[in-house]
Amino acid sequence: MTTKIIALVDALGNLVRFVLRPGQAHDLQGVKPLIEGVSFGAFLGDKAFDANWLREELENRGALAIIPPKSNRKIQYDYDEAAYCWRHLVENYFAKIKEFRGIATRYDKTDSSYTANLNLVAALIATR
């Protein structure tokens, strides 16, 4: 059994919200509940988040889509490569939570206990 964590972090690399998904599910499936009700000026994501519906949603919100296009996309969108460099904050956050062995190896048997432990780890990281 695998679990995928889809996380939304702010400009300082602090966790705003996360969603748990099955490991075999695509990352894009967790985006809609993740960004629902959250206001932001730009969305930084990797190529996995390159979808027409997400780009339209971000445009309707007035947010910049800083997402590199997939190589097989017919229309290659431009993106701000300098701003995309800040996506490392998301990767840094995942490196921080993986310092906690129970999160990295997913010892918890249920999603609710894993979510509780992930919230606890997020609180510990925020107090550092």
Q: What is the pLDDT of residues 33-47, one digit of tens each?
A: 899 999 999 999 999
Under CATH, which number does the domain 3-126 receive?
Answer: 3.30.420
pLDDT band per the 50, 70, 90 thresholds, residue 1: low
Q: Each residue of 67-126: pLDDT tens digit?
A: 999 989 888 889 999 999 999 999 999 999 999 998 888 888 888 999 999 999 999 999
Determine the Cα–Cα distance for residues 50 and 70; give it in Å rounded to an integer.
7
Q: Do 87 and 67 form a contact (C-beta atoms < 8 A)?
A: no
Residue ranges of the domains in the chain? 3-126
Determine the Cα–Cα distance for residues 109 and 81; give it in Å rounded to an integer.
40
Cα distances from 66 to residues 48, 82, 120, in angstroms, run 12, 10, 30
